[in-house]
Structure 1
């Protein structure tokens, strides 16, 4: 049975952060096995969990490029079933058709079993989204009403989605990525009065999470580079509606009937790295 991602609970945010920190290392992908990935999901929770599952699986299994779409869709499907309400879980066949993939439902179910076995049926894991929400909540508790408006969780979550689409952040601990996002966003506001207050709150959290200054500065710079790609006249900062797979009309016409020509997925060897 797939374990479920639990809610924030009633514990103070600081206590919840400590609990997630203790669990984080157990679910961190192995750096030696990570490959280039990009993915998207239904909700923020599903998106972040799907990325975590995909990272963890690719870090322990060697797969051929032709199998990546099946692996990615299965990780997404597992995340959907773990995070979304049962009534919102789509049929596997519908996911295959919508994503224009060339494999069958039986291929997908077989791959899902492989993924779950390699992850020891451990779906629930501390994600960057969990840390981001708790860090934001903890900081907001220490700010006055005016300073609280500087950091909005909606904007931070959109920025996190942009980072999730970059391979660079697959090797970074979720807690460190979340901290770096908050630090970048606070400094990007250019309001010395509010930045000082937020910096004090961040500093206390940094000590709580045992994050080194050098690591935080390095990841904050990577976040800045990633988000700079969205800072154009057409797309000022990442927004969930803009993080879409976009194809040309010609490509769309070529893909239109492809799901009627589904080919059987070759057997995927289960050799570990």
Structure 2
């Protein structure tokens, strides 16, 4: 029996080229857009929902402001590393689920956020592109150690009962958009990108934590459509998700108010760092330039 390997290594690989080959994404499977998939997600999302204000019941040291600082830092890391859009919402879901069952101190919140990014990246990024532990430690300005990160990875997994394939608002977007009468009216890819941006912005705002993933996804789609000058399709979204129409309207108004506030303050960019541009509308230039995503000054002030 011949066991000799005849595989040839390319010259670029043998020379240790620093340019990594781009990860190949799987083709879209139309089976995953079937109605039963949407029904399964609607049934499953309750298992990953945060049903109470954990700042009133569990957490004593940290505040919603600290949570905002950490989630904004997590978003900056994802933007800087061009992570998949699914990584950040999933990492914030881990963060909220952990905070709803386990008390943490002020000095541990960024460590928790870093751990959630590591876990979400391992699950949703291709193997060759997941966020490395040493890279995440660098983004914290070396305020944590590798031993801390490994210990907290096991701690978070145990508190989440190793159930990390959570349902997020991002998972609902293709299922909802494929069922809306948008053909010939608008580029659905643009609508999806805008909706993803709204979902990422809402993830940093604790007021949206108690909203279900399907509610947030439906209202993000409606807000994206309305921002492009189209009907928000709330009635159709209500029929698809069976969410009360008044709840959808309230959440939609909250998203639009949040976006308007951010535009007035500093403008915003989408989760991949590109400017959001709609037909006939361009946000004002963004003053904030990120050279890296190191620990913000406000975060260091609370001893992260």
TM-score (norm 2): 0.69
Q: 2:19 is matched with which residue? A: none
Q: Which runs of 5+ in 2 are unaligned?
A: 1-27, 56-62, 276-285
Say whether residues 1:129 and 2:161 are aligned partners: no
Task: Specify whether residues 233 and 104 from structure 1 end up closer, same or farther in structure 2 by C-alpha distance, changes over 3 A only.
Answer: closer
Aligned pairs, how many?
Answer: 239
- Pairing partner for 1:31 from 47, 52, 61: 52
| Shift of residue 56, structure 1, vs aligned partner | 0.7
Q: Which runs of 5+ in 1 are unaligned?
A: 1-6, 259-264, 266-273
Instruction: Judge conservation of contact 2:235–2:245 (CA < 8 Å) in 1.
Output: no
Q: 2:43 is matched with which residue? A: 22
Q: 1:181 is matched with which residue? A: 220
The 5 Å alignment of 1:233-248 reads: 235=267, 238-240=269-271, 241=273
1:116-162 per-position Cα deviation (integer Å, ceiling 9, x unaligned)? 001000000110101123212222xx333234569621122122211
Instruction: Judge conservation of contact 2:87–2:121 (CA < 8 Å) in 1.
Output: yes
- Pairing partner for 1:224 from 246, 253, 256: 256
The 5 Å alignment of 1:74-89 reads: 74-89=115-130
Structure 1 or 2: more helix by fraction: 1
1:174-219 per-position Cα deviation (integer Å, ceiling 9, x unaligned)? 100111112222233334xxx2xx62xx423312322111111111
Instruction: Judge conservation of contact 1:70–1:108 (CA < 8 Å) in 2.
Output: yes
Q: CA RMSD in A?
A: 3.2
Determine which structure has more spread, i.e. the larger CA radius of gyration: 2
TM-score (norm 1): 0.76
| Shift of residue 239, structure 1, vs aligned partner | 2.5
The 5 Å alignment of 1:1-273 reads: 10-33=31-54, 36=64, 37=67, 38=71, 39-40=74-75, 41=78, 42-139=83-180, 142-148=181-187, 152-191=191-230, 195=231, 199=233, 202-232=234-264, 235=267, 238-240=269-271, 241=273
- Partner Cα separation in structure 2 for residue 12 and residue 242 of structure 1: 27
| 4+ residue runs over 6 A deviation | none
Instruction: Judge conservation of contact 2:115–2:152 (CA < 8 Å) in 1.
Output: yes
Secondary structure class of the residue paired with 2:195:
helix
Instruction: Judge conservation of contact 1:28–1:173 (CA < 8 Å) in 2.
Output: yes
Task: Specify whether residues 226 and 88 from structure 1 end up closer, same or farther in structure 2 by C-alpha distance, changes over 3 A only.
Answer: same
Task: Specify whether residues 180 and 248 from structure 1 end up closer, same or farther in structure 2 by C-alpha distance, changes over 3 A only.
Answer: closer
Task: Specify whether residues 143 and 203 from structure 1 end up closer, same or farther in structure 2 by C-alpha distance, changes over 3 A only.
Answer: same
- Partner Cα separation in structure 2 for residue 149 and residue 50 of structure 1: 26
- Partner Cα separation in structure 2 for residue 158 and residue 189 of structure 1: 14
| Shift of residue 165, structure 1, vs aligned partner | 1.9
Q: 1:270 is matched with which residue? A: none
Task: Specify whether residues 120 and 9 from structure 1 end up closer, same or farther in structure 2 by C-alpha distance, changes over 3 A only.
Answer: farther
Q: 2:278 is matched with which residue? A: none
Task: Specify whether residues 10 and 233 from structure 1 end up closer, same or farther in structure 2 by C-alpha distance, changes over 3 A only.
Answer: same
